[in-house]
Amino acid sequence: MSLLDHTLEELHTMLVNKETTAEKIMTAVYARISETEDQVGSFITLTEEEALVKAREMDEAGIDPENILAGLPIGIKDNIVTEGTLTTAASRMLEDFVPIYDATVTEKVKESGMISVGKLNMDEFAMGGSTENSYFKLTRNPWNLDKVPGGSSGGSAAAVAAGQVPVSLGTDTGGSIREPAAFTGVVGMKPTYGRVSRFGLIAFGSSLDQIGPFTRNVKDNAIVLNAISGHDPKDAMSHTEEVPDFTEGITDGVKGMKIGVPKEYMQEGGLQDGVKEAVLEAIETYKKLGAIVETVSLPHSKYGIPAYYIISSSEASSNLQRFDGVRYGYRAKDVESLEELYVKTRTEGFGPEVKRRIMLGTFSLSSGFYDAHFKQASKARTLIRRDFENVFEEYDLILGPTTTTTAYGIGEQIDDPIAMYLSDILTVPVNLAGVPAISIPCGFSDGMPVGLQLIGKHFDEKTIYQAAYAFEQATEFHKARPNL
């Protein structure tokens, strides 16, 4: 068995008992990356030298028996700021940006004792659903190298699925953790908005963005969320809600738990037969485990996609104004005026998907169109949030497919932005409402993983983990590995 096949708890026990060392684990990580990176393309930047030095230092100091994450490897999505390490957001605009500070979540990773392996590939500025929009490289799905890994956190998901790292961090603005988790057969959690600090995250949609972990099993995911959660005064939207131990009660099962299945999620016209079958079988598993599963309605979910793309693009057009060639980042050459510097820098520095969303957002916020577009989208958002609140008055969780299809082919949707946007139809309502949701493996369709989405009440990630763990223990899907 490879070192990387163990759970985080098993690795911790091995470290404490001196059956292995942090340096050996780190060496195994880089060996696996070396074997598979040419095929998968998960990483933009590797920090091997620094990681091995840190691992040796931890071995010499001794692993803290009370700190379950000490000495363990993690990959970090490349829109999360890391002091002294290239942070590009997969854009030409930031191709040489080396931050002078850490994001709060990066600080928490360091405080937990985890060691960063490197920065993971993504869609440029997190805009995309396939990780085909990176300026640097293409990331492939480890289950089928001709298919996308999902996006925008495709590098983060693919690295975990390929066994390159046991843990990675991604970001989720409209499904960018859950969709790639579903496409690559791993566990991906989008926490409640405000649960994890966004300070030091290169912003896309500030009212929607949230950082969360990818792992190969549910308990590992809960352990990592414990480490990165908490109030941060540097993030104005960071919540003061006390952070519980997400692993406490994780084995309590789902007997008597009430789970709602939105009829809108199961009736989507584009729901692939294999995906629907896997989710229906998952529902039966929950019933056998003692859960009460009933059909519910989220009637305003149909407005999720238009509302999301107006709101997120509007926020993106505002957030990306800072990239103008003046202060930092890419700067166009051979310009003769300030206006030409702005235009040429942004023309050359941004990719087509980023430009598309800036244009959409600027239009939606412009004089004469604000009321018709952004204001209406905000009203739709309120209705979507109320739908969730109404269901959660009677139910503990909401269950459904994470995506309407399994991973599609590379190049299949890249020239059809509307099709790409519609692939988020089951994930964006969660971000608009700010509630937490997880994607866990629940089966296969034509050899590709299918994801099951569990949605919870605000700040109730514990119940989500409890239900996810119960399903995982009753099935074998999380044990499947791609043949690389």
Give the catalytic positions in this structure: 77, 152, 176
Two tokens, residue 342: 């702005």
Q: Scan for tokens 């996810």, then name that residue.
A: 468
End-to-end CA distance of the chain: 16
The Cα–Cα gap between 101 and 91 comes to 20
Question: How many CB atoms within 10 Å of residue 1?
Answer: 6
- Kindly tell me the burial class for residue 233, based on how many C-beta atoms sit within 10 Å of its own C-beta (0-12, 13-18, 19 or more): exposed
**How far is 228 from 288, CA to CA, in rounded Å?**
34
Euclidean distance between CA atoms 102 and 84, whole angstroms: 9
**222: enclosing H helix or E strand:** helix 218-228
Please state the φ and ψ torsions of residue 443, each to the nearest 5 degrees: 150, -170
Secondary structure of 230-246 as H, E, C letters = CCCCCCCCCCCCCCCCC
Alpha-carbon gap, residue 327 to 242, rounded angstroms: 38
Give the pairing of strands 115-120 and 73-77: parallel
Nearest of 465, 481, 466 to residue 212 by alpha carbon? 465
Q: Please name the residues in contact with 293: beta carbons below 8 A apart, sequence gap of 6 or more.
A: 259, 260, 261, 283, 286, 287, 399
